[in-house]
Amino acid sequence: MILVGWLSDLSAIASSGEAGGIAQKAISYHRPLPVQPKLCGYQLDFVMLNCCPIPEKSAVLLKSIAVICTVAVALITGAAAAQSNGPATVVEKFNAKLLEAMQGGEKLGYAGRYALLEPVIYDVFAFDLMARISSGKYWQSMSADQRDRLIELYRQWSTATYARRFDTFAGQRFEVSAPPQALGSRVNVCSHMIKSNGEVILFLYKLKMTRHQWRIVDIHVKGVSQLANTRAQFTSILDRDGYEVLLKTLQEKIDDLSS
C-alpha cells in the first residue's frame, strides 16, 4: 500500500532548483524591538514583613495580593516569551534548518540531516493537533495509547520526508516576506523560496497558539493544503483497513525513506 508523503509538493520544489553558488539565508521580515512589560506601570517589590505582628485579616489580604501578583507576573512573562518567539520567528527557525540540511547534503547524509532536523520539526509543528485533524472521526474512538503511537509515527514520517527530500543545495534561499496575518488564535505567515534562477515559490504557513507557543499546523504550497492531503490519505486507510494498517503503512514509509 502506498501512502503519498504530505510533504511531497514542498520537497519536490526544494529539490528541483538549478545549481548555483552558496547563498545565505535572507529574512526580509523585521520584528519590532520587544517592549518590556509593566504591571500597571509599577515595579513590584516583595518584602518579608516580620518586624511586627500582622492582624489575621491583614495577613489574609497580603497573602491574596501576593498570589495575584505572582499570577500576574507569570502571565506577563509568558506573554513576553510568546512575543520573542512569535509566528514569523517560528517559520524563520524552520527555514534556517531546512537550508542548513540542504547545504549539508551528501556530507551530512540522511542520518545527519535527520538528526539536524528532528529537534526543530518536533518543536515547531503541532503534531498532536495535526494527527487529530488528519484522523477525522476516528480520533474520538482511539485510546490514549493509540493516539500517542499515531502522533509519534506522524512526527517520524514528517522528519524522514524532510531529511530525505531536502538533500541538495542549488542556490535556494528563504524569505519571510510579510508580517503575520492574525486570525484570533491562528496566524498566517507568508514565506518564499527563491531559486537561483529567480523563480519564487510561495509557502503559506498556518500556525496556532498551542501550549503557550506558536506552532505550524498546515502549509499551503501553490494553494494546496498539505494537511488536507494527509487527512484524505489517513481517513481513506482508516475507512478501508483500520488503525493498525495506517500505522503499518506509516512505518513502511519511514523505513523506505531511511534506506
In a domain, 1, yes or no: no
Give the Cβ contact number of residue 4 at 10 Å. 12
Per-residue pLDDT tens digits for 215-248: 999 999 989 999 999 999 999 999 999 999 999 9
pLDDT band at 77 (very low <50, low <70, confident <90, very high): very low
**Structural domain of 43:** 33-85
**pLDDT at 2 exceeding the cut of 60:** no
Secondary structure class of 190 (helix, strand, coil): strand
**CA–CA distance, 89 with 40 (Å, rounded to integer):** 28
Residues 65 and 143 in one domain: no
Are 16 and 99 contained in the same domain? yes
- 231: in domain: yes
Give the pLDDT band (50/70/90) at residue 133: very high
Single pTM value for the model: 0.71
CB 221 within 8 A of CB 9: yes
Residue 3 domain-assigned? no
Q: Which residues contact 208 (CB under 8 A, 6 or more apart)?
A: 126, 129, 185, 186, 187, 214, 215, 217
Residue 156 inside a domain? The answer is: yes
Residues 186 and 65 in one domain: no
Q: Which of 66, 85, 104 is the last residue of a domain?
A: 85
pLDDT, tens digit, for every residue of 55-68?
A: 555 555 545 544 44
Note whether 70 and 140 are same-domain residues. Answer: no
Whether residue 222 sits in one domain with residue 155? yes
Same domain, residue pair 41 and 108: no
pLDDT tens-digit map of 170-191: 999 999 987 777 778 899 999 9
